[in-house]
Amino acid sequence: MQNFWYVFIAYCTIWTALCMYMIRLSQKNKELQTELRDLRIQLERILTK
């Protein structure tokens, strides 16, 4: 049990990094989807004018 801290830090790092990356990806995805939707609406509005 003497090297417990190394294992702990290693697993913490892995999980934090992966979770942060996943969260960042899904946030970016949501942002892009909203932007896409807005732009599409804008384009339709311009075309129907």
Partner 1 sequence: MQKWWTIMLFVMAFPFIYLCMNRVFHATVMCITMNVAIMLVFIYAPTEKVQGIVQKIFYFHVSSAITMFFAFFLVCVASIMYLWKNSDWWDAIALSAAEIGVVFCTLVLITGPLWARPIWGTWWSWDPTLTLTLVLWLIYVAYLMLRIEIYDPNRARFAAILGIIGFVDVPLIRWSVEKWRTLHPKPVLIQEGGTTGLTSAMLLTFLVCLGAFLLLFFYLLRERISIAQSRHALEVLRHEIDEIL
CA dist 47 and 28 (Å) reads 28
Measured CA to CA, the distance from residue 31 to residue 49 in angstroms comes to 27
Site string for partner 1, 8-47 (x = CB under 8 A): -xxx-xx--xx--xx--xx-xx--xx-xx--xx-xx--xx
- For partner 1, how many residues bind (rule: CB under 8 A)? 29
Cα end-to-end span (Å), the chain:
72
**In the complex, which residues of this chain contact partner 1 (CB under 8 A)?**
1-4, 6-7, 9-11, 13-14, 17-18, 21-22, 25-26, 28-29, 32-33, 35-36, 39-40, 42-43, 46-47
